[in-house]
Every structure is written in C-alpha cells, then in structure tokens.
Amino acid sequence: MSAPASPAQATDPTDPGQVPALRRAPLSRKLLMALVLLALLVLACAASLAIGVREVSLPTVWDALWHPVAGNNDISVVREQRVPRTLVGALAGAALAVSGALLQGLTRNPIADPGLLGVNAGSSLAVIVAITVFGLGDLDAFVWFAYAGAAIAAALVYGVASTGWEGATPVRLALVGAAATAMMTSLITLVLLTSREALEQYRFWSVGSLNARGVGTVLLVLAPLVVGMVAALSATRFLNATALGDDLARGLGQNIAVGRTLVIVGAVLLAGSATALAGPVAFVGLMVPHAVRALIGPDYRWVVPLSALGGPVLLLLADVVGRVLVRPSELEAGIVVAVLGAPALIALVRRSKAVSM
C-alpha cells in the first residue's frame, strides 16, 4: 500500500496546473504569449502616437516625449492630442478586457462581457440623467455619473440575484443582468426619442471614442481603475476554485459571497473607468479574454494579466485603423472594434476547441 502524499505533493484543486481538467498550456507558451502581447502593445502605442490625419515620424515622436521643442507643430500634436488619446485607449482597453475576464469567470459564461450586469446600460442611463436633468454637456462632467450609474446598476442586479436561499448564482446573475439591461436600454431610448438635445449630446459620448478626452479625465479615473485591477488580481484563485463548482470551492475554504463581491467590485470599477474614459465600448471585454483563454487555458492567474495586455492592443489598433480608413475624417474606435473584431472572434471560435470555464 503506497504512502499518503505529503503536503508538498498534494494536489491543489485551485491550481489549474495540477488539475487535468483545467490543464491547458505549458508555462513556456504562457510566457511567450505575454512577451508577444507586450511587444504588440509597444507597437500599438507607437502607431497611435505616429499615425493619423497628420503623419509624424517615430524620431519626432521620441523627441516629443523626451526632448520637446516649443513651436514645433508635430511635437504639439503628439503631446497635446495623441499622448492623451493613447493613454485613454490603453487604460480603457485594459479595464474592459479584465472586467470581461472577471465576469466570464464569475458567471462561467464564455460570452459574458461588462454589459452582462447592466454596467454599460447603467452608465449610459446615468449620463442621460446628467444631460437632461442637470444640463451637463462636458465629457469630463460625465465621469462621475458614469461611475455612479455602473455601481447602482451592478448593486441592483446583485441584490436582486442574491434573494432566495441559493444566493447570487451565475445563472441568476446573468438572467437578472439581462433583464436590467433591457429595462435601462428601453428608458434610454425613450428619453432620446423625446429629446433632440439629449440625443445630440449623448451620441458623441456613446459611440466609443478615444478623442476629446484629456489627461485630466485620465487622472480622475486612475485611482478607481488601479483599485479595480488590484481586486481583479486578488480574485484569480477564487475564480479558479469556482470553475470547479461552488461546492468544491467551499470545501477548499473559499467564501463564495466574499469572492463574488470582490469580483463584482473589481468588474464595476474597471468597466465604470473604461466607460467614463471612452464611452460604452462594446466587444473588447468579450473578445480579448475569450481569445486569451482559447490560447493558454482557463487559469485566471494568467487570463487576467494577459487580458490587461491584450485589451489595449485591440482598442489602440482599432483607433489607428479608424484614423486611416476614412481620411481626413475618422471612424470611432468603438465602431471599428465591432466591425473588425466580430469576424475575428467567429474565426477563433470555429478553430478552437471548447474551453472549460
């Protein structure tokens, strides 16, 4: 009879590397993907700073960042317009992708995104209230309304889903979130159909643009965004455990209520930050974590940080494509992401095997 395994040899069910059902990719592939995404992020940032209606050479971009010269128009364009735009794209992309990863893990639903808990719809409804009730028209003034709307919507969904002895199960969260989103979307449509002024102001915010946001807006959302990222990274082991089922997660010592609350707080702060920065951009929170999981497996200790790298790459490249396609005009990044990203996601799903949540 063999001796029992020592504690050092015992299997940890929260570690996907030790669970056959969750083992997907070797460490070397995960590290390689991290390096590839990091390189792509650097290239996407360089392209965002250099490419546009006005082309700027990479040496001039370097000088604008580190050796600015007063009176140089190219340097002024880079520092005053493209640096804030690139920061907005990078932060919003990372926030959306990580938020989507958290919600996909929480609900065990590979097609979940930040809109699942009514976050995007709540932010949009709050912005409508800011326009119609308080008469606000400045994009920076929408920031706190977007946050408040996201938080209220998520709290409402979680509160309703938590009623009953089962609590906020993944299925209940998805169903209540879908119902709340439908209700708030109907209210938004009703207001927009009855107020031309609200429609004119709202449409510039709602298309998902990285333009017209300054460094001040970035600084406003930086602290909540960082807190959301910390919460996301702290929740990775909980997400790995609940992927095996709530009962097993409880047996491993996980507090389901606390873990779900941590995930939802992180997702709301991140989705609210992204919405406040760039408007309700769709598809990034769905596609990026889904693609990452298909390539390296469902270990959220890797899915979350790699999504944080992949989100900015997708959103920044979409913004660059939007600047080039219809020169001298521009297509908003949110439109380009949806148009170009949907076929890519379909191809990925068709070619990849099903990934266990």
The verdict on residue 56 lying in a domain is no
Nearest alpha-carbon partner for 327 in 50, 85, 53: 53
Query: What is the reported pLDDT for 199?
Result: 81
**CA-CA distances (angstroms) from residue 159 to 155, 185, 271?**
6, 20, 19
Q: pTM of the full predicted structure? A: 0.86
The three-state DSSP-derived secondary structure of 184-209 is HHHHHHHHHHHCHHHHHHHHHHHCCC
And the tokens for 217? 């807006």
The verdict on residue 122 lying in a domain is yes
The verdict on residue 57 lying in a domain is no
- Angstrom distance (rounded) from CA 157 to CA 346: 29
Residue 50: phi, psi to the nearest 5? -100, -30
pLDDT in tens, 204-249: 777 777 876 778 788 888 999 999 999 999 999 999 998 877 778 7
At 333 the three-state DSSP class reads: helix
Is residue 19 pLDDT above 50, yes or no?
no
Query: What is the reported pLDDT for 99?
Result: 94
Collect all residues with Cβ–Cβ distance below 8 Å to 71 and sequence separation of at least 6.
none
Query: What is the reported pLDDT for 317?
Result: 94
What integer is the mean pLDDT of 132-157? Answer: 82
Query: What is the reported pLDDT for 349?
Result: 67
Q: Give the helix/strand (H/E) hosting 12.
A: none
Overall number of domains in the chain: 1
The verdict on residue 14 lying in a domain is no
Tell me the average pLDDT of the chain.
Answer: 83
The verdict on residue 113 lying in a domain is yes
CB-CB contact of 33 with 306 (8 Å) = yes
The residue ranking higher by pLDDT, 349 or 258, is 258
pLDDT in tens, 82-132: 999 999 999 999 999 999 999 889 888 777 788 777 888 898 899 888 888
Which one-letter amino acid corresponds to residue 163?
Answer: T
Which one-letter amino acid corresponds to residue 262?
Answer: L
Query: What is the reported pLDDT for 288?
Result: 93
pLDDT in tens, 30-44: 999 999 999 999 999
The verdict on residue 172 lying in a domain is yes
The verdict on residue 4 lying in a domain is no
pLDDT in tens, 261-302: 899 899 989 998 898 888 888 889 988 998 899 889 889 999
Q: Domain containing 36 — which CATH number?
A: 1.10.3470.10
The verdict on residue 235 lying in a domain is yes
Query: What is the reported pLDDT for 356?
Result: 42
Is residue 250 pLDDT above 90, yes or no?
no
- Count CB atoms within 10 A of the CB of residue 331: 18
In sequence order, which ranges of 208-332 are alpha helices (DSSP H)? 215-234, 236-242, 246-251, 256-278, 284-296, 300-325
And the tokens for 125? 């409804």
Query: What is the reported pLDDT for 270?
Result: 93
Lowest mean pLDDT among 83-97, 178-192, 342-356: 342-356
Range of the domain at 240: 31-49+91-203+217-351
CB-CB contact of 353 with 334 (8 Å) = no
Is residue 332 pLDDT above 50, yes or no?
yes
Residue with structure tokens 């190219």?
74
- Angstrom distance (rounded) from CA 72 to CA 74: 6
